[in-house]
Homo-oligomer: A and B are copies of this chain.
Amino acid sequence: MGKERQLRQREATKNEILDAAREIVFKEGFQGLSVRKITNQLDYSPAIIYHYFKNKNEIIETLVSEGYKRIFAAVSSITRNEDEPEKEIREAFTNLLKAALDSSEEYKAVMLNDDAAVLQKTALLKPGVPEKSPTLKMLCENLRRGIGQGRYSCYDPELTAQVLWTAIFGLIIKVIIEKDVSQEQINRLLDHHFTVLFNGILKR
């Protein structure tokens, strides 16, 4: 039907706009994003934005939640490893780092955002919260499993999950900020993180 085609067309134009926005964000960060820059790039008039989005903020939110999804998709597609559960953690964080670097501006925008609304989704440190975050929940379960197997030391799983997460988070953010760290060095750093952290939680 015509209506469907119309809807598809509408979706296509929205994506065009989002693509242009992504490109600008990639080059100049979120704070460099402006309605005019988007429409200039598309040879559209600024007003068109308001046909497809409520305002500039809606564009930002779309971009951000998108990056958010991509990142959490990365973490959730890991393969089970019964004997060495820490390998799951390694895989999850390796994926996370890769995804974060691929959408670094979005990652920063989300994870360093202190809007109350955003924090509701990203807060992790308060006691009890981890149960709500898919990522941390997974981590906690893994830790509990490892402790049950007698493989991990008997640390509070929630607290340990927060420690592991923030440790890797620090690496990710720092790598993004410094911009030109070589992939090789990134790998060495991530590897050594795992070495130290797993050494820290594995029973010996």
The chain A residues found within 8 Å of chain B, CB to CB, are: 31, 108, 111-114, 119, 122-127, 153, 155-156, 159-160, 162-175, 177-182, 185, 188-189, 192-193, 195-201, 204
Tell whether A192 pairs with B163 under 8 Å between CB atoms, given A31-B31, A201-B199. yes
Q: Is the CB of A125 within 8 A of B189?
A: yes
Tell whether A166 pairs with B155 under 8 Å between CB atoms, given A119-B178, A175-B125, A185-B125. no
Given A125-B189, A163-B196, A170-B172, 20 more contacts at CB 8 Å? Answer: A108-B112, A113-B177, A114-B178, A114-B179, A119-B177, A125-B175, A125-B181, A126-B178, A126-B181, A127-B185, A155-B192, A156-B192, A163-B171, A166-B167, A166-B189, A167-B193, A167-B197, A169-B170, A169-B174, A200-B200
Please give the distance in Å from A30's CB to the nearest CB on chain B. 10
Q: Is the CB of A173 within 8 A of B175?
A: no
A156 cross-chain contacts in B, Cβ below 8 A: 192
Please give the distance in Å from A2's CB to the nearest CB on chain B. 16
Q: Is the CB of A155 within 8 A of B112?
A: no
Copies of this chain per assembly: 4
Closest to A199 in B: B200
Q: Is the CB of B170 within 8 A of A171?
A: yes
Please give the distance in Å from A143's CB to the nearest CB on chain B. 11
Q: Is the CB of B185 within 8 A of A174?
A: no
Q: Is the CB of A171 within 8 A of B160?
A: no
Q: When chains A and B are docked, how far (Å) is the Cα of A189 from the Cα of B161?
A: 10
Please give the distance in Å from A64's CB to the nearest CB on chain B. 15
